[in-house]
Amino acid sequence: VFFISTFISIIFWIPVYLSIGQRLGPKTVQLFHQHTHSTIAVGILLTIIYIVPFILLRKKNHKHEVV
């Protein structure tokens, strides 16, 4: 059942994602090339925002295990 439903889903979603990529891909690459410094800054900021909660959670869990 899972295989069949996944296969049916793939049939519909692959063309959608390919058409989105075809339309937005060149514009996105051009945008990233024009704003290189901003792209790098946003990437670093998003990485920090994503990683910091995991580090804090790990410290909190480790603190509870030691006690």
pLDDT in tens, 39-65: 899 999 999 999 998 888 888 877 666
Which contacts qualify for 49-54: CB closer than 8 Å, 24 or more apart?
none
> Is the Cβ–Cβ distance between 51 and 44 less than 8 Å?
no
Percent pLDDT > 90 in the chain is 46
Which contacts qualify for 58-62: CB closer than 8 Å, 24 or more apart?
none
The C-alpha atoms of residue 51 and residue 43 are separated, in whole angstroms, by: 12
The C-alpha atoms of residue 28 and residue 31 are separated, in whole angstroms, by: 5
Percent pLDDT > 70 in the chain is 93
| Residue 15 confidence (pLDDT) above 90 | yes
Six-digit token string for 52:
């910091």
